[in-house]
Amino acid sequence: MEERLKSVFKTSQLRLILKALVFAGLLLWVKFSGFGILPVLAFWVLNLAMYYREPEHGKTELFYSFAILLIVSIFGVSLLSHFEFLLAAVAVFSFIFYLSLGIKGLVFVRRAEWNRIKDFLLLYSIFIGYFLSDKYDWFYAKYLFVFIAAFFIASEFISWMDIGFPKRQRLAALVFAFLILQLLWAVSILPIGFINSATLMLAFSYLILNFSVSHFAGSINKNLIVKNSIILFFALVAILFLADWKV
């Protein structure tokens, strides 16, 4: 029986890896085709087909983060021209795709932990794309997208707690998205480069979501506040110290 379970697990893992490779190939096709209609359409249709063919195990909110991944991955590769950076971006997006299908299909044992990793990687990708692009080009569209994406990702992140109060979850996600917009505007003013700006936004996102989860769990205390304050302090010092300040 144990050998049979191991065989099923290996088969599932191999199937996920092959799907992630298909995702990577489609994304590269979209990039090198100059974002033609056929490659983009094939990218969406085939990836959504792979998503829906994976069995569902409860968390329907995963669809929103998956759709955000498809949008962010196309936008992300459109910003890159150097081949090595393009491959690195495709590898990251493919890994997020791999995690999304693995979590949905019940392949991973610690699904909640992997889901957190997926959500933070997706948020980081969004922040990098935002700061890497021209901040004045389609500003309102990108600003609105960040708000919507932050709302759905936070809603999914908090929903994995199963607290039983969906209205409170949506309110917390809405507050998170609003705070992210305010922080995004503030960080955009700092001349610290897109990597440092995105990392700083990720640090803020982690702290806000961590406080939200602790609030619903009723575990906010002095130790948590001190711990998060220390994390934020050292993150700020490291990011601002390593930043290449340009006025």
Angle between helix 2-32 and 37-53 (nearest 10): 170
Output the pTM of the full model. 0.87
**pLDDT higher than threshold 60 for residue 156:** yes
Pick from 7-21, 37-51, 60-74, 226-240 the range whose average pLDDT is largest.
37-51
Half-sphere exposure of residue 214, counting CA atoms within 13 Å on the CB side?
A: 15
Residue 58: the pLDDT is: 53
The amino acid occupying position 195 is I
Residue 232: the pLDDT is: 73
pLDDT tens sequence across 34-63: 999 999 999 999 999 999 887 765 555 688
What percentage of residues in the chain have a pLDDT greater than 90? 45
| Dihedral angle sign, alpha carbons of residues 100, 96, 63, 187 | positive
Q: Nearest-CA neighbor of 170 among 155, 150, 153?
A: 155
Q: Grade residue 2 by pLDDT with cuts at 50, 70 and 90.
A: very low
Residue 5: the pLDDT is: 45
Tell me the DSSP string of 185-231: HHHHHS-S-HHHHHHHHHHHHHHHHHHHHHHHHT---HHHHHHHHHH
Q: Grade residue 78 by pLDDT with cuts at 50, 70 and 90.
A: very high
